Amino acid sequence: MNCGTFLSACLTLTLGLLLIGCGSRDDYRTIPAEQRSATAADIIPGPISEFRAAWVATVINIDWPSSNSLSAKKQQAEAIAILDRLVELNFNAVILQVRPQADAIYHSKIEPWSYYLTGEQGKKPKPSWDPLTFWVQEAHSRGLLLHAWFNPFRANHKGHKGGLSKKSIVKDQPELVHRLGDEGYWWMDPAQEAAQAHTRRVVKDVIDRYDIDGVHFDDYFYPYPSYHKNQDFPDDATYAEYQKSGGKLDRADWRRDSVNRFVKALYDDVRGSGKNIEFGISPFGIWRPNHPPGIAGMDQYEVLYADAKLWLNEGWVDYFMPQLYWPIDSKGQSFTALLDWWSEENTKQRHMWPGLTIVKAKDADGASEIVNQINYTRRTQGSGSGVCLFSMKWLQHSDYQIATQLGTGPFAEKALPPPSPWIDSEPLPRPHVDLLADYEDSRIVRFHIKEKTDEPLYQYLVNERKNGKWLSPKLVAPRFSSYPVESDVQEIAVRSVDRMRNISEPTIIKVNAELAK
């Protein structure tokens, strides 16, 4: 990368200052500088704590790629534009749909390439590339977390207009799927152990092969009634087999029990992977009508057979993201009433990061509603706050007010997602910091971690001390390793942050000794 391109990228990142790090610089020399640890007198501010994500849906090309006929180069350019936009708007995570319908937007030996990627299910991208590898690398280089989003049991969506690959589960294991209506929907049978095992195998494969930060599931366990013309799910044979084996649960409880066991097994798979990966679910926003009192709407417990309250109560998630797609003043589906109720059910103190829809946030009033929802979430969730917005394409619309109001309001400054200490609480080693100067004595600090560690770096935190006072930190993405020093900066404190957002002890370097006296 040449320096001109680099400087342009830095401006896009809006770090609030010019970062210079064009690799090795022969025209800089290391100069002696005092390094020290923090003392009791050092009150070094920490970062804002908040999870800020956007869903990037691949099904029916909602967000990415914009078309299934684009070249690999154009698909990559669109991905870069999405990630750069998230950084520009001070987001810190992206939730990418990698399995829209028992297919894959990555190289898989289990399921076929997605129709939404190549225009033909099972067709390899040409030239060959792995989109998930690309997304992960580009997200991490920008200091963004990437959560892989899986649809659990949808085998085919009506938006798929092409033929099914022989590798599709509909063709390869037809005994595990049911056809819903005549519009093109196929659905895996969630009560069949083999169907659950298939999806778990898909997830474990991605965990093993990709450097993802999270595993994410949406609300599609049993299908919404509209998928099957409001008819009951066609699992007579599966239920009869269950009864024949001695099962005593009625059909609704049996379906819920199947989903519950699946969710618990997924959580155990993620936690047992040996990797610091978070598991999150984004269920329909209402558990049951009248919970809390006055709430009306679809009963996911009876319709989707999703006992989302149980999953939260038992702590089978690391974060919970109920889809609260209603306004604050909605009489039957109040955003605030629902968030308060879910928060009361969060007995294991997992992350509560509601999902918000920005589809109607085009004008000032619609955008203000979202800002008010974010602010309410902050007040109720405190330092563990966070949100996810559906979906990415609305953040890219130049005529939508939501991006402007986020930038001048709650997302005006960068934030670090809250830590997950029940997964990992051990920070990285503190970084080593060098002071360098060029022939004109312009100074920069360069930092890196000397010790070998298996824990990936997520961000650097850099604080400046001016006039004897430590200022708020800047978040510096891993692809940058240098930081310019202004003449009135006395000291620089640098801390390393891992993917679980554990913050190391600072390394403090005196950069202008004559000003520190």
pLDDT tens profile 384-442: 999 999 999 999 998 899 999 999 999 999 999 999 999 999 999 999 999 998 877 78
Residue at 30 is within a domain: yes
Choosing from 413, 448, 480, the residue where a domain stops is 413
**Domain match, 462 and 489 both:** yes
**Domain match, 8 and 29 both:** yes
The rounded distance, in Å, linking the Cα atoms of 162 and 272 is 38
Output phi, psi for 434, to 5 deg: -115, 145
**Domain match, 374 and 443 both:** no
Please state the domain count of the chain. 2
Residue at 419 is within a domain: no
**Domain match, 61 and 16 both:** no
Contacts of 166 (CB under 8 A, 6+ apart): 122, 172
- Please report which residue ranges of 360-511 form alpha helices under DSSP H: 364-381, 392-396, 401-408
Positions of the chain with pLDDT lower than 50, given as ranges: 1-25, 514-517
Output the domain CATH number for residue 340: 3.20.20.80
Residues 447-450: contacts with CB under 8 Å, at least 24 apart: 447/481, 447/482, 447/483, 447/494, 447/507, 448/481, 449/496
**Domain match, 43 and 110 both:** no
* Structural tokens at position 313: 């109560």
Residue at 216 is within a domain: yes
Q: Using CB atoms within 10 Å of the CB of residue 328, give its burial: 0 to 12 exposed, 13 to 18 middle, 19+ buried.
A: middle
Q: What's the pTM?
A: 0.93
**Domain match, 41 and 115 both:** no
Q: Which domain holds residue 327?
A: 49-413
Q: What pLDDT shows up at residue 514?
A: 45
Contacts of 110 (CB under 8 A, 6+ apart): 104, 198, 201, 202, 205
Residue at 213 is within a domain: yes
The helix (H) or strand (E) run that includes residue 85 is helix 72-88
The rounded distance, in Å, linking the Cα atoms of 252 and 305 is 7
Residue at 367 is within a domain: yes
**Domain match, 38 and 56 both:** no
Choosing from 362, 391, 413, the residue where a domain stops is 413
Q: How many CA atoms lie within 13 A of 473 on its CB side?
A: 23
- Please report which residue ranges of 345-471 form alpha helices under DSSP H: 364-381, 392-396, 401-408
Whether 191 contacts 235, CB under 8 Å: yes
Q: Is 49 helix (H, G, I), strand (E, B) or coil?
A: strand
**Domain match, 7 and 54 both:** no
DSSP 256-288: HHHHHHHHHHHHHHHHTTSS--EEEE--BS-SS
**Domain match, 294 and 360 both:** yes
**Domain match, 374 and 444 both:** no
**Domain match, 476 and 504 both:** yes
Whether 332 contacts 372, CB under 8 Å: no
Q: What pLDDT shows up at residue 480?
A: 83
pLDDT, one tens digit per residue, over 53-97 is 999 999 999 999 999 999 999 999 999 999 999 999 999 999 999
Residue at 71 is within a domain: yes
Count Cβ atoms below 10 Å from residue 248 Cβ, excluding itself.
8
Contacts of 218 (CB under 8 A, 6+ apart): 149, 151, 152, 281, 282
| Cross-strand partners of 459 | 497
Q: Is 321 helix (H, G, I), strand (E, B) or coil?
A: coil
Choosing from 380, 413, 446, the residue where a domain stops is 413
Residue at 418 is within a domain: no
Q: Is 179 helix (H, G, I), strand (E, B) or coil?
A: strand
Burial 50-83 (b: 16+ CB within 10 A, else e): bbbbbbbbbbebbbbbeebebebeebbebbeebb
Residue at 25 is within a domain: yes
**Domain match, 485 and 378 both:** no
Output phi, psi for 316, to 5 deg: -85, 20
Output the domain CATH number for residue 478: 2.60.40.10
